[in-house]
Homo-oligomer: A and B are copies of this chain.
Amino acid sequence: VSARIGRLVIAGVGLIGGSLALALRRAGAVAEIVGFGRDAERLQQAVAAGVLDRGETDPERALSGADVVVLGVPLGAVAGLMRQIGPHLPATAVLTDVGSAKASVVADVETALGGLPGGFVPAHPIAGTEKSGFEAALPDLFRRRRVILTPLASTEAAAEATVCDMWEACGAEVIRMGVEHHDRMLAATSHLPHLLAYGLVDTLARWDTTEEVFQYAAGGFRDFTRIASSDPVMWRDICLANRSAVLETLEHYRRDLDHLTALVEAAEGEALEAVFRRAKTIRDRYRPVFEK
């Protein structure tokens, strides 16, 4: 396989950026991988770990000659990062990101650059673990996972194709949808569950101050709360960046939870069973999608 990307710059080398680097390197799909960040020591560790070819803390040096620039920082850091790298972004560079919410990234890029360049392709790889940092990076993290591109009216076809090829080289399946649609979908299937899981663990921690309750947790609790081990800063940023969609789905959920509570209170066994059965039917029907 010939190197399809000459110089790739990853701004923010964490779990996602690191895994992207490992996957592209293994696929022979990139000639040079440059990391940009504030912490020279961390960048040096990523070089030593074989994740990066070199690390740069100076934006001009980092961005020089970049063919593709990937924003790998938490959503709350995108605006600041764009202000920093904007002036040094080569006119021909493809710019993409990995954020779990898209409208906020588009707004941040537009504000920083004073407009949306044709090379900008918003993207969201639906993959991750509850771990953080490039030390947890895996070359297979994106294999058979979906990557959602939300191309804009301003996005050039060639840039979109480059980003598409990049993710396919990592073994991912690339799909496309609109920014707003993406943000509503992800609020429902990812952001809300994280909020609920964090909330449950915190509720129990404050409810039972001896923490004895956690000693008796079974498999259901383990699976249900695994995502509460996710990075708090990343998820704070996601909840704020995608606030309106998260609030919309939260409102639906809370209304339904009020209804479920009323059914338990009134001991409405039949109605309760109907809800559970409907949920089980759906969950079982999509099992092949979820478990793949």
- Which one of A44-52, A54-62, A236-244 is at the interface? A236-244
- A205 in the interface, Cβ–Cβ < 8 Å? yes
A189 and B207 contacting across the interface, CB-CB below 8 Å:
no
Which A173-219 residues sit within 8 Å CB-CB of chain B?
A: 185-186, 188-190, 192-208, 211-219
Distance to closest chain B CB from A265 (angstroms):
6
Contact status B236-A276, CB under 8 Å = yes
Q: With A289-B214, A290-B222 in contact, do A232 and B280 touch (Cβ < 8 Å)?
A: yes
Q: Is A264 positioned at the interface, with any CB of B under 8 Å from its CB?
A: yes
Q: Are B283 and A225 in contact (CB under 8 A)?
A: yes
The contact size tier of chain A is: 35 or more
Contacts beyond the supplied A185-B213, A228-B279, A236-B269: 7 A-B pairs with Cβ under 8 Å: A127-B218, A186-B216, A190-B221, A204-B282, A214-B289, A230-B280, A232-B273
For A256, what are the chain B residues with a Cβ–Cβ distance below 8 Å?
199, 202-203, 206
Closest B-chain residue to A276, C-beta based?
B232
For A190, list chain B residues within 8 Å (CB): 217-218, 220-221
| Bound Cα distance A273, B230 (Å) | 11
B214–A282 CB distance below 8 A: yes
- Identify the interface centre among A216, A273, A277: most chain B CB within 10 Å of its CB: A216
Partner of A216, one of B146, B192, B237, B250: B146
Q: A284 at the A/B interface (Cβ < 8 Å)?
A: yes
Q: Does A103 contact B (CB under 8 A)?
A: no
Contacts of A216 in B (CB 8 A): 126, 146, 148, 185-186, 189
Interface mask (A110-149 → B, CB under 8 Å = 1, otherwise 0): 0000000000000000111100000000000000011010
